[in-house]
Amino acid sequence: MAVPLAEFCRQLPKVELHAHLNGSISSATMQTLLKRYKNRLEREGNETPQLWETTILKGEKRALADCFLMFKMIHTLVNDEESVRIVAHEVVREFADDGVVYLELRSTPRANPATGMTKHSYVQAILCGIDKALSECRTTMHVRLLLSIDRRQSVAEAMDTVELALAHVEQTPHHTRVVGIDLSGDPTVGDIPALLPVLHSAKERGLKLSLHVSEIPQRNEETALLLSVCPDRLGHGTFIHQEAGGSPELEERVLAMKTPIEVCLTSNVKGQTVSNYENHHLPLWHKRGHPIVICTDDKGVFSTTLSEEYAIAGETFFLSQEQLRQLASHAVEHIFEHDLKNELLKLSDV
């Protein structure tokens, strides 16, 4: 007898390639942080966030702009090394529990002079949380990290992030966890032409690039500029395909480049850039044989799991369990840690 879809998706060995650390905090961890930091937040004159201010519950939606207010709120709570460590530990543990065998987390290095946290110690705290989670993990799991550039940052800040990533690679040449750079943040702001040289430089110096593109409509020109950097993967790409409001030129260019698209179904529906699951751009690309990778984006903010995202894709687009298994297996081709591909392909072939 066939295994029920939800259970099949949970058991499937999965690869998660698009997960923002502070967007991935579960309600349970959020409760822990709220309890732990309530006193400190009040002392610092910050209001204590309520759970509903950091999570969009099942069945609810918000405007994309509201999601960015939620991140701001979450950042007031995760603002010292200890909280960063807790969050990284819990997030990795939860992905492992969900059957994720390879996880690429991404996060924007943040300093907070009030707590003594520097961008460097922020990254170290993440790495420490990851190590702790992996040492407790009962199954084999691999975790890598991308450092995120927020679109609203200056060229100097963005360059600092690239240097931070490269310094890490230099210090740990044989077991580096930092493998690339992500460009993310509120898609309505930021000076992309100014940031292009920074992205070029990251790529030239050996870092992989995943760039959020066309998350909102009418960004064709900006997306064309970002494609000129030859990114290794694209985040969302919601409005690239001509049938989704992009343009034939852009669509053909992405198809020709074969750049994988990280698709985040629930994120797009809850953030209301896509009206419902049925209207999502996933099948437009899938049908043309273009590589897509199912991801969560922010499993905490959007109350989802990677298994649920696979199940939603299966139900919405009538994909068989075999097709879902193939999607999970093909995702391995697009990980940024080349040396693990064979090992992971064996896992997903069972």
Ligand X SMILES: CNc1ncnc2c1ncn2[C@@H]1O[C@H](COP(=O)(O)O)[C@@H](O)[C@H]1O
Contact footprint for ligand X (CB under 6 A): 20-23, 67, 71, 107-108, 148, 150, 184-185, 212, 215, 267, 271, 297-298
Residue 150 interface partner, choices ligand X, Zn ion, none, CB cut-off 5-8 Å depending on type: ligand X
Residue 185 interface partner, choices Zn ion, ligand X, none, CB cut-off 5-8 Å depending on type: ligand X
From residue 202, give the alpha-carbon distance in Å to each of 106, 111, 157, 158, 252. 16, 21, 13, 10, 26
Residue with smaller CB distance to ligand X, 20 or 85: 20
| Cβ-closest position to Zn ion | 297
One-letter identity of residue 72: K
Residue with smaller CB distance to ligand X, 126 or 327: 126
Give, rounded to a whole angstrom, the gap between the first and last alpha carbons of the chain: 18
Please say if 243 is a catalytic residue.
no
DSSP code at position 149: E
For residue 329, the tally of other CB atoms under 10 A from its CB is 18
* Helix (H/G/I), strand (E/B), else coil: 234: strand
Instruction: Tell me the C-alpha distance between 261 and 251, whole Å.
Output: 12
Does the CA dihedral 118-109-73-304 come out positive or negative?
negative
Contacts 24+ apart (CB under 8 A), 43-48: 44/114, 46/76
Residue 307 interface partner, choices Zn ion, ligand X, none, CB cut-off 5-8 Å depending on type: none
Q: Which of 90, 104, 215, 308 is catalytic?
A: 215
Rounded to a whole number of angstroms, the minimum distance from the CB of residue 271 to ligand X is: 5
Rounded to a whole number of angstroms, the minimum distance from the CB of residue 210 to Zn ion is: 9
Measured N-to-C along each axis, helices 220-227 and 192-204 cross at an angle, to the nearest 10 degrees, of: 20
Query: Whats the size of the chain, residue-wise?
Result: 350
Residue 67 interface partner, choices Zn ion, ligand X, none, CB cut-off 5-8 Å depending on type: ligand X
Rounded to a whole number of angstroms, the minimum distance from the CB of residue 322 to ligand X is: 30
Rounded to a whole number of angstroms, the minimum distance from the CB of residue 70 to ligand X is: 9
Rounded to a whole number of angstroms, the minimum distance from the CB of residue 69 to ligand X is: 10
Residue with smaller CB distance to ligand X, 20 or 89: 20
Residue 231 interface partner, choices ligand X, Zn ion, none, CB cut-off 5-8 Å depending on type: none
Residue with smaller CB distance to Zn ion, 235 or 314: 235
Residue with smaller CB distance to Zn ion, 41 or 179: 179
What percentage of the chain's residues is helix, strand, coil (to nearest 5)? 50, 15, 35
- Catalytic residue positions, numbered: 215
